[in-house]
Amino acid sequence: MQILKRTKKVVDEKKIKRAFAEEKDCEEIVTGEFMLIDAATEQVVAFCVKVDDPEASKKLRNACLSLKNWTKASRGSGLMTTAKVFGYQPRNPIRQRPFCHKGVLAREEPAVHNGFLQFAPEAERIFKKFLPDQAKKQQDELLIKVKPDWRIKGTMYTSGIANNNNALGYHRDRGNFEDFWSAMVVYKQDIQGGNLVVCDYNIKINFDDDCIFFFNGMRWWHGVTPIIKRSKSAYRFTIVYYALKEMWKCMSIEDELNHAIKIRQETELKRIKK
């Protein structure tokens, strides 16, 4: 495994916000397995390894390949993306979801949704293997702040997203717990580009197929360079597991259901009285 020691730089957030990630933004390109260390603190800030369970990895890849109901949307940078969230979601009154719930994929394609959930313990196991202290810290925080009903397979993850050939503008994953490392699995075939630029450490990562990358997506600015498909069967999937900080507001499933019923009753009463 490569050991990369890099100095964190100051990022001009006003300049980079909403900017597209481009190959020219960074000259240094990193490939294969590596561990990134902050030169000032001597702390590991990211690492990438090969997924070491072929059967679990095969099932996760197949979940991506078989998913039909991808969601197309425009992100803040203006780029159109194709993705699907899974796991658990917090309340969202604006979208008329005043209760915590499973992502819509659980209803649309339950087998695919379960395929994504099944890999969560593998991601956690690999993280514990390389950074046990950080893993324990995250587990302890989730045990205190998030009820078991809202943790994927009892892991440190509450939610996730599968991305399908998405070039992404620079962003930080602001919805996550602040000191929480996400796990990102990468599958790709016949792809040029699609490299992850981590601005804070001025590196560009060309991921191998079937690898998993751990880093603090909420803390570091990152984006994905343009993706070029080299064949009709080409693809680049990334499956990201994380913990949403809004999930700490979720009550038990029973209490959430009762809360939803109460909200619905209040809404109906207001309509009747109009």
Tens digits of residue pLDDT in 8-59: 998 888 888 878 899 998 988 999 999 999 999 999 999 999 999 999 999 9
Q: Which of 205, 170, 200, 172 is nearest to 186 (CA)?
A: 205
Look at residue 18 in the predicted model and tell me its pLDDT: 78
Which single residue is written with the structure tokens 């006003």? 14
How many residues make up the chain in this entry?
274
HSE (side-chain half, CA atoms, 13 Å) at 100: 24
> pLDDT tens digits, residue range 62-91?
999 999 999 988 765 556 789 999 999 998
Residue 250 pLDDT grade (very low, low, confident, very high; cuts 50, 70, 90) = very high
Q: How many other C-beta atoms are found inside a 10 Å radius of the C-beta of residue 228?
A: 13
Q: What span, in angstroms and rounded, lies between the C-alpha atoms of 12 and 35?
A: 25
Look at residue 24 in the predicted model and tell me its pLDDT: 92
HSE (side-chain half, CA atoms, 13 Å) at 118: 17
Global pTM reads: 0.91
**pLDDT top residue among 264 and 110:** 110
Q: What span, in angstroms and rounded, lies between the C-alpha atoms of 100 and 252?
A: 9
Q: What is the CATH number of the domain that holds 173?
A: 3.60.130.30
Q: What separation, in Å, do the N-terminal and C-terminal C-alpha atoms of the chain show?
A: 67
What's the CA angle centered on 95, arms 90 and 97, to 5 degrees? 50
Residue 267 pLDDT grade (very low, low, confident, very high; cuts 50, 70, 90) = low
Which residues, listed in sequence order, are joined to residue 196 by a DSSP beta bridge? 205, 224
What is the extent of the structural domain holding 194?
2-273
Q: Which residues contact 192 (CB under 8 A, 6 or more apart)?
A: 227, 228, 230
Helix axes 54-66, 110-118, angle to 10 degrees: 150
Token code pair at residue 141: 């925080």
Look at residue 268 in the predicted model and tell me its pLDDT: 67
Q: What span, in angstroms and rounded, lies between the C-alpha atoms of 127 and 181?
A: 9
Q: What span, in angstroms and rounded, lies between the C-alpha atoms of 113 and 104?
A: 9
Number of domains in the chain: 1
Q: What span, in angstroms and rounded, lies between the C-alpha atoms of 117 and 152?
A: 6
Q: What span, in angstroms and rounded, lies between the C-alpha atoms of 249 and 247?
A: 5
HSE (side-chain half, CA atoms, 13 Å) at 172: 18
**pLDDT top residue among 92 and 134:** 134
Average pLDDT along the chain: 90
pLDDT of 112 strictly over 90: yes
* Rg of the Cα atoms in the chain: 19
